[in-house]
A and B are shown apart, each in its own frame.
Chain A
Amino acid sequence: MKLNVVNVLIPIIAIVFIFALWVLFAGQSPIIQPISYNHKVHIEEAGLECIDCHKYAESMTRASIPNIDLCEDCHGDEPISKSPEEKKLIEFIEQKQNIPWKQIYSVPDHVYFSHRRHVVIGELNCSNCHGNVSELTAPAQYPFLIPSMGNCIDCHKQLKITNDCLACHF
């Protein structure tokens, strides 16, 4: 029987194409948060600053992601707005259950990244790495600046900061 080249090639090409797509887009799926938090409203209407919720950005390595213990300071039993997202939050507060926020920005275990060093000593703005968060009406689904070594090194070179391995890896 004569082998039909087209019949063999098409599935192979299809498999290779799907594999290539998977390689290209794997890990880049959008991150959906349990509550569609509106940064813009909190900054513009409530008058909050980044540091009010991300409390440790100026004093520790991790900036920290706030949870119900902080949210409930403003969001009590009665909703402030008509937003359905606030209702979700109040449910979490009533059930005393922490909001399972998903982390967008993270560095591997072998990298030491200190927010304090970058924000206070380096005098960087939050927007340098996180983009213009104050304009976001829904949570970011992708990191603004991927915390990869290439991006770190680029910025360090630009600002003439040390690129010594031991400054970040130990």
Chain B
Amino acid sequence: MSKWAMVIDLDKCTGCGDCIAACKIENNIAIVDPEEANSGRVMFWIEMVSVYEGEFPNIKIKRFPKPCFHCENPPCTKVCPVHATYKNDEGLVGQIYHRCIGCRYCMVACPYTVKVFNWYEPEWPVEFRKCFNPDVSVRTKGVVEKCSFCAHRLIKVKEEVDLEGRDIQDGDYMPACAESCPADAIYFGDLENKESKVYNLAKSSRAKREMENLGTEPKVVYLSKRE
């Protein structure tokens, strides 16, 4: 069984935010009013985190994209009272919107704060309504959502490879963020496949996992020479 994982090379990442735009379009993520966004209700499935170090004028900025970490041992799934969020056999942490009751326990449990809540019925500009991705459902008010590693793409890829009578190969299944990254800083693949790029990069000496001490075993690995 595959174990899908992402490796983000921070030494390559320029912080351009292309992954965020691609994700927003691919997954029909609601556009939030700027005032509400400022009060922390902004909706992204992959977020660009900026960390400032030092004092002006000698400031060092670290920027890194933060999607859902699809933990091997996810804290969010354990608190969901209705099994709307769960980890499947391939290690993807799913969020089933029509099962979600909006209690937001999972948002509290997630140490990476990657889940977002639909505070309002999403309002779309007319132009946007015509270009929804038909493969991803449009969420309603009152449900929690998060990065799915573009699970809808996996289903399509599975269909394709089944028709061709072969197994999924490295590079067949790519989430929108990895596909759009102009610096090729995001790698995606199967950790169980020893020939995959992700398997080898995750073992690299530059590999770091966020909040490793919590035991969540995140499947998003950062590569960086810097501390």
Where the two chains meet, the residues of A that have a C-beta atom closer than 8 Å to any C-beta of B are: 109-110, 112, 114, 116-117, 120-121, 164-167, 169-170
Contacts and interface: CB of A to CB of B under 8 A. Distances in A.
Given A109-B138, A110-B98, A112-B135, A166 B88 contact: yes
B136 A170 contact: yes
Q: Which are the 4 A-B pairs with shortest beta-carbon distances?
A: A110-B137, A166-B94, A170-B152, A121-B162
A11 B140 CA distance: 40
B159 interface: yes
Interface in B77-116: 86, 88-89, 92, 94, 96-99
B96 A169 contact: yes
B163 interface: yes
Contacts of B155: 112, 114, 166-167, 170
Contacts of B151: 166, 170
Contacts of B159: 114, 116-117, 121
B97 A110 contact: yes
Secondary structure type dominating chain B contacts: loop
B163 A120 contact: yes
Of the candidates B86, B96, B148, the one having the most CB atoms from chain A within 10 angstroms of its own CB is B96
Contacts of B96: 165-166, 169
A112 B155 CA distance: 9
A170 B137 contact: yes
Contacts of B152: 112, 170
26 contacts: A109-B138, A110-B97, A110-B137, A112-B135, A112-B152, A112-B155, A116-B159, A117-B162, A120-B163, A121-B162, A164-B88, A164-B89, A164-B94, A165-B94, A165-B96, A165-B99, A166-B88, A166-B92, A166-B96, A166-B148, A169-B94, A169-B97, A169-B98, A169-B137, A170-B94, A170-B152
Interface of B: 86, 88-89, 92, 94, 96-99, 135-138, 148, 151-152, 155, 159, 162-163
A136 to B, nearest CB: 30
Contacts of A167: 155
Contacts of A116: 159, 163
Nearest to B135: A112
A169 B135 CA distance: 9
Nearest to B92: A166
A106 to B, nearest CB: 13
A149 B66 CA distance: 34
Given A116-B159, A166-B151, A109 B137 contact: yes
A57 B138 CA distance: 25
Contacts of A165: 86, 88, 94, 96, 99
A114 B162 CA distance: 13
A170 B152 CA distance: 6
Nearest to A167: B155
Of the candidates A164, A165, A167, the one having the most CB atoms from chain B within 10 angstroms of its own CB is A165
B121 to A, nearest CB: 14
Given A109-B137, A114-B159, A170-B155, 13 more contacts: A110-B137, A112-B152, A112-B155, A117-B162, A120-B163, A121-B162, A164-B88, A164-B89, A165-B96, A165-B99, A166-B96, A169-B98, A170-B152
